Structure 1
Amino acid sequence: MFVWGPLAFENTCAEAWVEGLDERRLHAQLRAALHPAELDRPLRIEECVALLCAGEILAACGGQPAEPLPDRVRQLLILAPRPVPAELEQARASVARVRAESSLRAVFEARGDVSAWLLALGALEQRLA
């Protein structure tokens, strides 16, 4: 059973994605997570989750972490490079796409708690600015 909270790391899909990150390939994994937002097709839930987690990690690397961060993410941040402005902009645009239209948004709308989720995404977009 899936558990969904409004914050990026508050779901079982996010936990699994974070556990699969490798500090030696972190930068490439973050870029890959953001890539589906550039495609001209609906985003799947798993892609949305990875994209939002990547955005949170990039925001944290840029000095704007969300609280609380999972321990695994804190470990990865020790060696993570500071993102360049273009990476932050790509992440912000990707988050905006998930917020505007996505299967993950549909999950929160169906549950009737889209407001808290939208607030969390707005805060993430601000941290990526």
Structure 2
Amino acid sequence: MIDDPPITPERSFIMARVGPRDTKPEMIVRRLLHALGYRFRLHAKELPGRPDIVFRPRKKVIFVHGCFWHRHMGCRRTTTPKTREEFWQAKFSANQARDQRNQEELKALGWKYLIVWECQVRRAEILAENLKVFLEA
């Protein structure tokens, strides 16, 4: 839109540093899984969506999603920036559609998936129990 402010070089630099892997929430989940005795692989390129954590023999994967980027419903981190709202709505919609498509493809291939939200990593005991239930089922 014409009314939207230009993107500053500072903002561009900040957004460029947001990476798709080895995020803080992902590292917390990986450390927790390792402490529970589970061994896994990372970011399988051949699977839809490049899951963050892969358990090949179990045919199970875990995605660690940021609440902002993947739109965790009901979470306080799921905010929408006030500037360039149309851009952000399109971006979030595309992210959600891609996530849904990847999940359907994984199911079709016989894989099970678990989504761990960024806000869930703060409660380690509950998260550990959820991970165990998912992996042992």
Higher relative contact order (CA 8 A, sep 6+): 1
For the criterion TM > 0.5, the same-fold answer is: no
Q: TM-score, normalised by structure 1?
A: 0.32
Q: TM-score, normalised by structure 2?
A: 0.30
More strand by share: 2
More helix by share: 1
